[in-house]
């Protein structure tokens, strides 16, 4: 992205990039390499909040070391069912197990957002959306795993891609399920003093 962009996105997610662009936000990408492992006594929401914050802090520290004080946006999305955090699948078998668990049930998609400002101040949001899946038979799951890019996706699915037909109902923010709750992210950027309406749309 442009070196003169006002915001740094601490994520490699193409979905988050597309959502920010759709809102007219200008940004530069620098992914973090923060481990995404939950602590033994960490709740799913606390886990997502910590990882989002750690991503933003890591990239902000790297940038500050080079004299770059631009704000940094970190985010983390997880799937929660039976009070268990479902992250990204390790392999095809793990992805299959995830989809079998989600079949015919309602789960929660939680995204935590954290903006780190030049003075170290933080603006955070956490958004939860309920998603209900239709019934998935074993053969259907195998066909999906054959043709879809389920890797690097929480819950092994992307609602905006091949998995759209699996979803019976979404209650809450749709963009949250895609990977970034756009309305709440724009609100966080505004609260951080980064976002103003110009030329008919929001820009960082």
Q: Catalytic residue positions? A: 76
A 10 A CB-CB count for 50 gives: 18
Q: Reduce the secondary structure of 97-141 to three states and give it as a string.
A: HHHHHHCCCEEEEEEEEEEECCCCCEEEEEEEEEEEECCCCHHHH
Helix (H, G, I), strand (E, B) or coil at 86: strand
Token pair listed for 48:
């997502």
How would you class 9 by CB atoms within 10 Å of its CB: exposed for 0-12, middle for 13-18, buried for 19 or more? buried
Distance CA 10, CA 199 (A): 26
Count CB neighbours of 94 within 10 A: 14
Q: How far apart are CA 50 and CA 48, in angstroms?
A: 6
């Amino acid at each position: 992205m442009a070196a003169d962009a006002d915001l740094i996105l601490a994520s490699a997610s193409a979905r988050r990039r597309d959502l920010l662009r759709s809102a007219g936000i200008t940004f530069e990408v620098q992914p973090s390499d923060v481990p995404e492992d939950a602590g033994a006594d960490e709740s799913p929401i606390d886990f997502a909040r910590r990882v989002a914050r750690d991503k933003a802090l890591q990239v902000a520290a790297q940038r500050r070391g080079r004299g770059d004080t631009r704000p940094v946006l970190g985010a983390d999305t997880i799937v929660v069912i039976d009070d268990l955090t479902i992250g990204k699948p390790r392999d095809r078998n793990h992805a299959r197990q995830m989809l079998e668990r989600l079949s015919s049930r309602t789960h929660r998609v939680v995204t935590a957002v954290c903006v780190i400002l030049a003075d170290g101040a933080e603006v955070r949001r956490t958004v939860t959306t309920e998603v209900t899946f239709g019934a998935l038979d074993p053969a259907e799951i195998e066909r999906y795993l054959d043709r879809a890019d389920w890797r690097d996706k929480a819950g092994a699915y992307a609602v905006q891609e091949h998995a759209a037909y699996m979803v019976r109902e979404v209650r809450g923010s749709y963009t949250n399920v895609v990977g970034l709750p756009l309305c709440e992210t724009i609100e966080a950027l505004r609260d951080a003093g980064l976002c103003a309406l110009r030329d008919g749309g929001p820009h960082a």
